[in-house]
Structure 1
Amino acid sequence: MNDSQAPRGGATAVSTAPVVLPRRLGPSALQVYPIALSGTVFGWTADGPTTTAVLDRYVELGGTFVDTADSYAGGRSEIMIGNWMRGRGNRDAITLATKVGKSADHPGLSAPAIRAAVEASLRRLRVDRIDLLFLHIDDPGVPFEETLLAVDELIRAGDVRYFGGSDHTGERLLEARIAAGQLGVAHMVALQKHYNLVHRDEYEGDLARVAAQLDVGVLPRFALAAGFLSGKYRSRADLERERRGAEASRYLNRRGLRVIAALDRVAHELGVEPATVALSWLLSRPRVVAPVVSVSGPQQLDAIMAAPRTPLARHHLTELDRVSA
């Protein structure tokens, strides 16, 4: 969806639809909105006024779940989100997630790196706690015991409420759970993973089975495949016109275009945008709690926030499963 395009459903379709209920994140006490707004572009391609407009529109449409990382725009994403929350006075209404492990200042998942990274994130975000801390990498060079003890210390201190993993395999998630049990410390309640209609194999299968076994809540990232599943890239010319075209180019093939055609059919039948349908499909998958979605402008959020209010019929799901298999 181009920023200049008005979604078929529009704000009216969103506002008149049923109320969206929060979803419980794994075994935690967190009840989160089923669309997480990513801060990936804040401070990078989105300047201050754009970031504020995006965050304001997200909340206006009912959103309460904001996800960022200490490495996004060298920490500027956290600063901009923190300034926005302070200016709006809405910290307690927001479920706040950030990640550590990739920043240039505090790389890796050693105990000193985790402690320093979280302290820096708390300062940039201007908060006294992080609701959900993600290990942004799997750092096999550091024993899980060291990482888990460091995170548990932060949880006991009240700096972090819960934590999860990112890019961890099913085997590594099991290793972490066993180590946490042996140590008697907090365990992961969530997992962020690359997962969408045109990128299914990495999550589905072994990792999905482990997530179910461990009762882990799944937050799919790259939920719209760098914008490809919004339908904005249908030719090489489309790729060349957009900044993120290079990221989406891997999907511009026969299979990808079959998926787009199916999204078009379902979207037309329901009177919504293809992006809405793609996210609704994710929300129908087992263990999925909230796709993590990035936007470049507030006008894109109408279609995205319509997804939890747009349940797909069985024949819609069957068609999308078939063309994306």
Structure 2
Amino acid sequence: MFPAAPGPRTRALGTSGVVVSALGLGTSGFGWTADRDEAWAILDAYREEGGTFIDTASSYSQWVPGHEGGESEAIIGGWLAARGCRDDVVVGTKVGKSRDAPGTSARSIRRGVDASLRRLGTTHVDIVHAHLDDTRTPLEETVAALSELVEEGKARLVGVSGFRPERIEQALALAHGSGAVPVGVVQEEYSLLVRDHAEGRLQAVVRQEGLGLVAHSVLAKGFLTGKYLPGAPAVPSARALDAEQHMSAGGHATVRAAEEVARTRGVTVAEVAIAWVLGRPGIASALVGARTARQIRQLMPAAQLVLDDDEVSRLASAAARATRDESA
């Protein structure tokens, strides 16, 4: 039996008081797989479909030859100015991985955020994340620097990305002990095929501390769209190499299990994979990227798809096999 009620289109970001779209827009492809015009079309489509949560980073897309980083932020900033909609969306960025402001020292954080604000054309971001756990910098310094940004009005919330649970706990203890603004948002990779980072201890920390857990790479670098199954037509993709890590018998079995659910529900494999993530405990939002406006429109209904217990069980069984294959 299918659930009678659809899932919520918006969710609370932990206990922060900030509400975001269940589906956030990941923009690492802006300036890479989507040029400015296509990126603006994606942003327009996302907003028209009710999306309000835009995620970027100072380092996007410095891996492209000739790029310096900040291309994604600049595209978003131009769109925000042209549409006059800054107050209608939640914007989060990440600092610490850009070439011009590497690491999370106080100097790098401030330099990185000031550059991000210029590119975004705004006086503040809603969430500023440390994009990596920079173990060369004392955690006390990172915590204090992020807190200062909130105190100065340059950010509303502090977030971290790619931090181990114990390091998040340490950062929280330091903030509480010093009176600094504590971490309120955690970004972590999470999908049917990559579960170990976001489950277990991290889920416990998120629950106990009232944090907002935002999942990224929810389609396993595109593998969970189904386009990489044996026999499927080859689809040129800048992310194909990233998806190869999941090309095992178990990985393909997971996609086929998702296909069965999708066929029964009349939805896509990608929607099923996203709905699975959104149904996990503690998830505030799942970030999805798109190369075209059509793609983002196709993904948005996943926010309201609720899987039943039998569907979740079948997907979990297939995914467990994939995990065994990849660890063998």
* 1: CA distance, partners of 2:9 / 2:231: 40
Instruction: Write the mapping of 1:180-219 to structure 2, written as runs, cut at 5 A.
Output: 180-219=175-214
Do the aligned partners of 2:227 and 2:235 also contact (CA within 8 Å) in 1? no
The CA deviation string for residues 38-59 of structure 1, in whole angstroms up to 9 with x for no partner, is 1101012211111011111111
The one-letter amino acid paired with 1:70 is S
AA at the equivalent of 2:47: V
Instruction: Give the stretch that moved more between structures: 61-70 or 308-317.
Output: 308-317
For 1:306, what is the secondary structure of its paired residue? helix
SS in 1 for 2:183: coil
Among residues 10, 13, 21, which one is paired with 1:25 in the alignment? 13
The aligned counterpart of 1:124 is 119
The partner residue of 2:75 within 65, 71, 80 is 80
Quote the residue 1:317 is aligned against. Answer: 312
**Residue aligning to 1:233:** 228
Q: Find the counterpart in structure 1 of residue 66 from structure 2.
A: none
Give the one of 283, 289, 292 matched to 2:287.
292
Deviation string 1:283-304 (CA, Å, 9 cap, x unpaired) is 0001111111111111111331
**Cα drift, residue 66 of structure 1:** 0.3
DSSP 3-state at the match of 1:220? strand
Q: Could you tell me which amino acid in structure 2 is paired with residue 22 of structure 1?
A: T
TM-score (norm 1): 0.91
Instruction: Describe the shift of the 1:202–1:222 C-alpha distance in structure 2 as closer, same or farther (beyond 3 A).
Output: same
* Residue pairs, 1:167-182, within 5 angstroms: 167-182=162-177
The answer for the alignment partner of 1:6 in structure 2 is none
Change (3 A) 1:241 1:85: closer
- Cα root mean square deviation, aligned: 1.6
Q: Which runs of 5+ in 2 are unaligned?
A: 62-68, 321-328
Q: Distance in 1 between matches of 2:187 and 2:147?
A: 20
- Cα distance in 1 for partners of 2:233, 2:141 equals 47
- Offset at 1:319? 1.1
CA drift at 1:252: 1.2
Q: Do the aligned residues in 1 keep the contact of 2:6 with 2:306 (CA within 8 Å)?
A: no
* Contact preservation (8 Å) 1:68, 1:97: yes
1:262 aligned residue: 257
Partner of 1:34: 22
| In structure 1, distance between residues paired with 2:303 and 2:247 | 27
Q: Kindly provide the CA deviation profile for residues 95-144 of structure 1, in whole angstroms up to 9, marking residues without a partner as x.
A: 00000000111111111111111111110000011001111000111111
For residues 219 and 48 of structure 2, what CA distance do their matches in structure 1 show? Answer: 22
Q: CA deviation at 1:211?
A: 2.2
Q: Is the 8 A contact 1:238 1:245 kept in 2?
A: no
CA distance in 2, matches of 1:299, 1:40: 18
SS at match of 2:93: strand
Pick one of 31, 39, 43 that aligns with 1:43: 31
Q: How do 1:141-180 and structure 2 match up within 5 A?
A: 141-180=136-175
Residue 135 of structure 2 aligns with an amino acid whose one-letter code is P
Report the CA distance between 1:307 and its aligned residue: 0.9
How far residue 238 of structure 1 moved from its aligned partner, in angstroms, is 5.2
| 8 Å contact from structure 1 (residues 69, 98) kept in 2 | yes
CA contact (8 A) 2:40 2:79 kept: yes
2-side partners of 1:132 and 1:288: how far apart?
A: 17
Say whether residues 1:53 and 2:72 are aligned partners: no
Q: Distance in 2 between matches of 1:297 and 1:60?
A: 14
Per-residue deviation, 1:229: 0.5
Moved more, 262-271 or 17-26: 17-26
SS of the counterpart of 2:111? helix
- Alignment CA distance shift 1:19-1:59 (3 Å): farther
Report sequence identity in percent.
39
1:97 aligned residue: 92
Judge which range, 210-219 or 124-133, deviates more: 210-219
Residue 119 of structure 2 aligns to a residue whose secondary structure is helix
Render the CA deviation track for 1:257-288: whole Å, top value 9, x for unaligned: 11111111111111110100100000000111
Q: Kindly provide the CA deviation profile for residues 63-112 of structure 1, in whole angstroms up to 9, marking residues without a partner as x.
A: 01000000002101000001001101110001000000001111111111
- 2-structure distance, mates of 1:87, 1:28: 29
CA distance in 2, matches of 1:323, 1:237: 20
User: What is the TM-score with the length of structure 2 in the denominator?
Assistant: 0.91
* Contact 2:7–2:305 under 8 Å retained in 1: no
Secondary structure of the equivalent of 1:204? coil
The 3-state SS of whatever aligns with 2:123 is coil
Name the structure 1 match of 2:59.
Answer: 71
3-state SS of 1:305 partner: helix
The Cα of 1:242 is off from its aligned counterpart by 3.0
Structure 1: tracts of 5 or more residues without a match: 1-16
